[in-house]
Amino acid sequence: MPGSSFGDLFQVTTFGESHGPAIGCIVDGCPPGYELDISDIQRELDRRRPGQSSVTTPRQESDAVTILSGIFEGKTTGTPIALMIQNATHRSGDYGNLKEVYRPGHADMTFQKKYGIRDYRGGGRSSGRETASRVAAGAIAKKILADQGVSLIAHTTQVGTIVAKTVDTSVIESNPVRCADPHVAPDMVKLIETLAQSGDSIGGAITLTITGIPAGLGDPVFDKFDAVLSHALMSIGTIKGIAFGSGFGAVTMKGSEHNDVFEPGDENQVTMKTNHAGGILGGITTGADVTCRLAIKPPSSIAKTQQTVNRSGEAVAIDIRGRHDPCICPRVVPVVEAMAAIVTLDCLLKQRAIASK
């Protein structure tokens, strides 16, 4: 309720600032008896960590995770799983110049207004570093969902005006922008590099697809699957928009076009030829793929001199030092998958409670 917890039955609570001793999370409500190895978590963290390619920040952080509780003899025990990632380097000195100044696009001003105090080192709690805890927690959910045949795949579908045209999920991890279209990926890389050299940054779009998800997940009327997933994804700092299925395309569609026609499927199941609904009807999953598109804003930390104000309300100029991401899409991809996994597993557990007798 104070804001650092998410989920009802599978509940994730995170902690940590960018420049404190450590960040991490407690995953409470993880179903017992599932095999879980630290490599299941580390593998996902490695996809998010900085310094992995030419289009991410060159900062090198290992983001090595430690499991503090909840696993016994290689299996989940049903008790809280605590995960910790130590903050390798605390070069707080770098941030002394930010103590009194509000960086444009960042949460410096709003944290000051809300709490009356803020840890100004690297954004403190508002730093994107916080999402590593989400990825670690989501890795657990992902592992359990994989056992149920559910997979979650996100990929970059747009960078600036460059749009992916094809989807080959097998190539996502083999290009630095995590794009499923191998033909446009190099153009995206080039665009990002060009902007980085000019001291600027660029926005993009990510598409998420959840495959193998059973029908029946989501809890009307307020905790509809799309509503909760929107909550989870919009809580990622860089995401400014979300749309399911046809999304904003629905604005110009007729009902006769948008309605997905039901058809007889195998084994008494219902199928649909189209999926304008994005796999959700009335807030409940249909069994078709859940699909949504996300608007990712350009990173606010740019190398250009910017005008702003300080805490005394005076106009000042600011130069943000340090090494930053010119396009955050590739590193947001695993965060999107993690949050979607947390939501999906939570809904799955809730559905078990009412569906089993």
Q: State which of positions 6-45 bind a copy of itself (CB under 8 A).
A: 6, 8-11, 13-17, 20-24, 26, 28-29, 31-33
Q: Which of 182, 186, 212, 216 is the binder for a copy of itself (CB under 8 A)?
A: 216
CB of 129 to a copy of itself, least distance (A): 11
CB of 10 to a copy of itself, least distance (A): 8
Tell which positions 120-149 bind a copy of itself, by CB under 8 A.
124-126, 130
Distance, in Å, from the CA atom of 217 to the CA atom of 355, rounded to the nearest integer, reads 11
Q: Classify 284 in phi/psi space as left (phi over 0), alpha (psi -120 to 50) or beta.
A: beta
Distance, in Å, from the CA atom of 345 to the CA atom of 332, rounded to the nearest integer, reads 20
Burial 122-145 (b: 16+ CB within 10 A, else e): bbbbbbbbbbbbbbbbbbbbbbbb
CB of 247 to a copy of itself, least distance (A): 5
Decide if residue 170 touches a copy of itself (CB under 8 A). Answer: no
Judged by beta carbon, residue 16 or residue 50, the one nearer a copy of itself is 16
Judged by beta carbon, residue 105 or residue 186, the one nearer a copy of itself is 105
Distance, in Å, from the CA atom of 324 to the CA atom of 328, rounded to the nearest integer, reads 9
- State phi, psi for 280 to the nearest 5 degrees: -140, 130
- Identify whether the C-beta of residue 157 lies closer than 8 Å to the C-beta of residue 178: no
Q: Which of 93, 117, 165, 170 is the binder for a copy of itself (CB under 8 A)?
A: 117
Judged by beta carbon, residue 93 or residue 315, the one nearer a copy of itself is 315
Judged by beta carbon, residue 40 or residue 219, the one nearer a copy of itself is 219
- Judged by CB under 8 A, the stretch of 2-10, 42-50, 53-61, 175-183 that binds a copy of itself is 2-10
Please state whether the peptide bond connecting residue 101 to the residue before it is cis, i.e. omega within 30 degrees of 0: no
